[in-house]
Amino acid sequence: MSKREKLIIERLTEAFSPVQLELVDESHKHAGHPGAREGGGHFVVTIVSDAFAGKLPIQRHRMVYDALGDLMKKEIHALSITARTPDAG
């Protein structure tokens, strides 16, 4: 696991205490892409947490972006998010 992946997992775990957290680095699929050339990674995250209860999908995504903070400026170029509550199945 890369340092970048560890940072993402740490931030999301700290912010949401998830019951499930999966992070996939798909940066290799985007070689040559402008964001990839500048050092930003492409990731897919699935996060399941009670913290998302009562929130619309757009609000959940904003919560994830806020938790990642400055990582969204350089370390992460693209992020695909699936954020749901434990009772969503």
* Closest listed residue to residue 50, CA positions, set 61, 35, 60, 62: 60
Containing structural domain, residue 25: 3-88
pLDDT of residue 14 exceeding 60? yes
**More confident site: 33 or 3:** 3
The CATH number of the domain holding residue 27 is 3.30.300.90
pLDDT (tens digit, 9 = 90+) per residue, 66-77? Answer: 999 999 888 888
How many domains is the chain built from? Answer: 1
* Rounded Cα distance, 28 and 71, in Å: 19
Mean pLDDT across the chain, nearest whole number? 88
